Structure 1
Amino acid sequence: MKKHILMITPENQEINKFRKRQFNNFTQITMPYLAGFIDETRYEINLIDEYNQDIPYYNTFDLVAITVNTPNANHCYNISELFRKRGIKVIMGGPHATLLPDEVSKHCDYIIIGEAENTWPQFLEDFYNDNPKQRYMSKDAPELNNIPIPRRDLIGKRYFTRGAVFATRGCPYNCSYCNLKQIYHNCFRKRPINELISDIKTINSKYFVFWDDNLFSDKTYAKELLLNLKRLKKKWAAQVTLKDCEDRELLNLAKSAGCIYLFVGLESFSDDTLINVNKEINKIDDYKRIIDLIHEYKIMIQAGIVFGFDTDDKLVFSRTLKICENLGIDGATISILTPLPRTPIYNKMKLEGRLITEDWSYYNGKTRVAFSPKNMSCKELYEGYMWFRKNFYSLKSFKKRMKASKTNIFYNFIINLGYKLSIR
């Protein structure tokens, strides 16, 4: 007899309201990917993404699986409680479960800690045979060959934004605010290119996004991938490091293969800040030259910008806006510094007594401040962040940035409009 499993990508109302009007919100890949491991002769699968679907709380399931990130943790605990009250078993995994397994274990029946390629199939086997363990932990770094294609057919109410895929896992850098080293095994891995291309071919939409943390980390691999990707005639975006974009051959291949924009974690325009957070791979003096080079190949720059570093003062917002306009930054993902659990910056702030709360809903980097900044108040940080968002996505700033960028004006306008609407 089949067992019925509900798989949930959670999103609390506060973040959902923030993201809803943006046009480039691609689906999270975790649950569709994990669904690919499930034997449908044994399990019936329901996949729910709270971004645009409601959780069927009153339906009957044998198992509910929830992927937990830090800002959604409390929300996930509430979801779990409602199902467990009805006698339905709940398993949790994801970043927060890996960072704080003892906390998460209090809110579920089973937990997967770390990468799930080996432990998730083992759990499914054990659960089907009524012999599951309470904890499953990834001990060795899983290889990324012969992995299943994500079950994108189970993704509801999306077309343009259901195309997420990953080619690599890991990042060679050690930024103090990033939790990649804590949630993944500390080694860089790549999928076989032929398998990856087969995966991308199954994406019905013309548009997709690489969910990698740094697609260009291995340039030899990236170039071979882009040569193969060109034949598919799709449009895509990816996250990379600015330093890796100095390679003209790589940029030419990316453009020929359909790259629309690259997400680049600039974070700050202060050398002191970058040194302070261990991101010295970014060199401020190189920003304009490399950004101009990327624009030369008609690829847009979506910059990751963070406010609230210890070197930031109240003037950082206006300074950053002026620099972005002069550089022709096409778009920006703007965040408030978030000291995620077990990261070096979290440990430092906890030791200094600067964490305001461990209510994880404050740790979303978008709507709340979770710590005491050094050179301004929490209110000043939040208001400055909101001022920057409003002004960066104003028509006035857009015109200034496009005058410098001159890149893909149509796509640029659509993406900027989505962010502008989300501010309302």
Structure 2
Amino acid sequence: MKKKILLITPENEEINRFRKKQFNNFIQITMPYLAAFIDESKYDITLIDEYNQKIPYKKQFDLAAITVNTSNAEHCYKIAERLRAKNTRVVMGGPHATLLPDEVGKNCDYVLTGEGELIWPEFLEDFYNGKARTRYACETVPDLKNLPISRRDLIKKRPFSKGAVFSSRGCPYSCSYCNLKQIYCKPFRKRPVQEVIAEIGTIKNKYFVFWDDNFWGDTDYARELMKELKALNKKWAAQVTLDRCNDDELLKLARSAGCIYLFVGIESFSQESLGSVNKGINVVQRYKAIIDKIHNNGICVQAGIIFGFDGDKRNVFEDTLEICNNLGIDGATVSILTPLPGTPIYDRLKEENRLLTGNWSNYNGKTEVAFLPKNMSKEELFEGYMWFRREFYSIRSIFTRIKKSRVNILHNIIINLGYKLAVCNI
């Protein structure tokens, strides 16, 4: 007899309001990917993404699986409480479960820690046979060969943004605010090129995004993949480090393979701030030359920018806006520095008694400040961050930056207006 399983991509109301108006919110890939491991002779699958769907609490399920990020942890615990009240068993995994399994374990029936390729199918088989353990931990580094293709057919109401795929896992670097080293096995790993190409070929949309943490973490592999990708005639974006963009051959190959946007973690225009979080691979003096090089190859720059470093003073917001306008930065994903549990910066701020709250909902990097900044109040940090977002996505700034960039102008305008609507919606 089949069991009914509910897969949930959680999103609390505060973050949902923040993201809802943007045009470029691609589906989170975790649950569609995990769905591909499920034996449908044993399970009926329902996939819910709270970005645009409601959890069907009135229906009965045997098992619910929730992927837990830190900022959604409290929200996930409330979901689990409602489901368990109806005798639905709940299993949790994801970054927060990996970092704080004891805490998460108090709010569900089963906890999976680490990468899921091996332990997720094992758990599903054990649960089906009535012998599931309360804890499953990834103790063997998963091989990324022969992986199943994400179940995009289960995704509802996302006709233009369900095209997400990953080709590698991990990042060679160790920025102190990032938790990748704590949640993934250490080796940087790649999927076989032809398997990635085959999966991309199943994406019906012309546009897709690579969900890799660092798409150019291995440039030889990336070159091989992009050469094969060119024949598919698709348009795509990916996340890379700025230092790898100082390679004309790599950029030309990316453009010829259909790349229109690169997300680069600029983070700050202060070398002191970058050094304080172990991001010395970014050299501020090289920013302009590298960004010009990206633009000259017909690719837009989506800059990751973080406010709240110890070197940031009250003038950082205006200075950053001026520099972004002068460089023609096409778009920016702006965040407040967030000390995620398990990271070096969390440990340091905790030791310095600068953490302001233990409520994980405040650790979202978008709507709350979770720590005491060094050179301004938490209110000044938040107000400055919001000022920057409004000004960066003002009509004046949008056209100043696009005029400077002159790259993919139509896409650029659409994406900028999408972010502008999101800012206005807060």
TM range, normalised to the smaller chain?
over 0.9
1-structure distance, mates of 2:247, 2:52: 39
Q: Which residue of 2 aligns with 1:390?
A: 390
Q: Give the corresponding residue for 1:324.
A: 324
Secondary structure at the counterpart of residue 140 of structure 1: coil
**1:72 counterpart residue number:** 72
Q: Where do residues 39-188 of structure 1 align in structure 2 (5 Å cutoff)?
A: 39-188=39-188
- CA-to-aligned-CA distance 1:4-59 (integer Å, 9 cap, x gap): 00000000000000000001000000000000000101110000000000000110
Q: 1:416 & 1:396 partners in 2: Cα distance?
A: 12
Q: Tell me the amino acid that sits aligned with residue 258 of structure 1.
A: G
Spell out, residue by residue over 1:336-358, the C-alpha distance to the aligned partner (whole angstroms, 9 max, x if none): 00000010000000011100001
Q: Equivalent residue of 2:334, what SS?
A: strand
AA paired with 2:93?
G
SS in 1 for 2:332: strand
Identical columns (%): 66
The residue matched to 1:289 in structure 2 has which SS? Answer: helix
Q: Which stretches of structure 1, 4 residues or more, deviate above 4 A after TM superposition?
A: none
Q: Secondary structure at the match of 1:61?
A: coil
Please show how residues 254-403 of structure 1 align to structure 2 within 5 Å: 254-403=254-403
Residue aligning to 1:407: 407
Unaligned runs of 5+ in 1: none
Q: Distance in 1 between matches of 2:396 and 2:195?
A: 45
| Preserved contact between residue 169 and residue 188 of structure 1 (Cα < 8 Å) | yes
Equivalent in the alignment of 2:223: 223
SS at match of 1:27: coil
CA distance in 2, matches of 1:83, 1:239: 36
Is the contact between residue 60 and residue 86 of structure 2 (CA under 8 Å) also seen in structure 1? Answer: no
8 Å Cα contact 2:68-2:92 kept in structure 1:
yes
CA shift, 1:404, in A, is 1.6
User: Secondary structure of 1:342's partner?
Assistant: coil
Matched, 1:240 2:240: yes
Distance in structure 2 (CA, Å) of the matches to 1:52 and 1:215? 28
Q: How many residues align?
A: 424
Cα distance in 1 for residues equivalent to 2:204 and 2:158 = 11
Tell me how far 1:63 sits from its aligned partner. Answer: 0.2
Amino acid aligned to 1:264: V
RMSD: 0.6
Letter in 2 for 1:332: A
Shift of 1:186: 1.3
Contact map agreement 1:160 1:206 (CA 8 A) in 2: no
Task: Tell me the amino acid that sits aligned with residue 290 of structure 2.
Answer: I
Shift of 1:140: 1.8
Which SS does the other structure have where 1:236 is aligned?
Answer: strand
Structure 2: unaligned runs, 5 residues or longer: none
Check conservation: 1:177, 1:277, Cα contact below 8 A: yes
Question: Is this contact kept in 2: 1:295–1:407, CA < 8 A?
Answer: yes
**TM-fit CA distance, 1:253:** 1.0
CA distance in 2, matches of 1:120, 1:403: 49
Q: Please tell me whether the aligned partners of residues 123 and 136 of structure 2 are also in contact (alpha carbons under 8 angstroms).
A: yes
Q: CA deviation at 1:159?
A: 1.2
- Quote the residue 2:197 is aligned against: 197
User: How far apart in 1 are the matches of 2:410 and 2:318?
Assistant: 27
- The one-letter code sitting in structure 2 at the alignment partner of 1:154 is L
Question: TM-score of the superposition, structure 2-length normalised?
Answer: 0.99
**In 2, distance between residues paired with 1:46 and 1:17?**
24
Secondary structure in structure 1 of the residue aligned to 2:79: helix
How far did 1:105 drift?
0.2
Give the C-alpha shift of residue 248 in structure 1.
Answer: 1.2
- 1:403 shift after superposition: 2.2
Task: Tell me by how many angstroms 1:301 deviates.
Answer: 0.1
Please give the secondary structure, in 2, of the residue aligned with 1:265.
strand
Amino acid at match of 2:35: A
- Output aligned runs, 1:12-23, within 5 Å: 12-23=12-23
Asked whether the equivalents of residues 167 and 215 of structure 1 are also in contact (C-alpha less than 8 Å), the reply is yes
Letter in 1 for 2:142: P
SS of aligned partner of 1:59: coil
Q: Deviations over 1:312-339 (max 9, x none)?
A: 0100000000000111100000000000
Q: Report the secondary structure of 2:261's partner residue.
A: strand
Distance 1:399 1:116 in 2: 44
Q: Which residue of 2 aligns with 1:4?
A: 4
CA distance in 1, matches of 2:140, 2:400: 50
Distance 2:157 2:398 in 1: 31
Do the aligned partners of 2:167 and 2:196 also contact (CA within 8 Å) in 1?
yes
Assess if the C-alpha contact under 8 Å between 1:63 and 1:90 holds in 2: yes
Q: Residue 364 of structure 2: SS of its match in structure 1? A: coil
Aligned with 2:403: secondary structure? helix
Matching residue's letter, 1:253: L
Q: Deviations over 1:351-398 (max 9, x none)?
A: 111000010000000000000000000100000000000000011111
Deviations 1:174-214 (A, max 9, x none): 10100000110111000000111111111111110000011
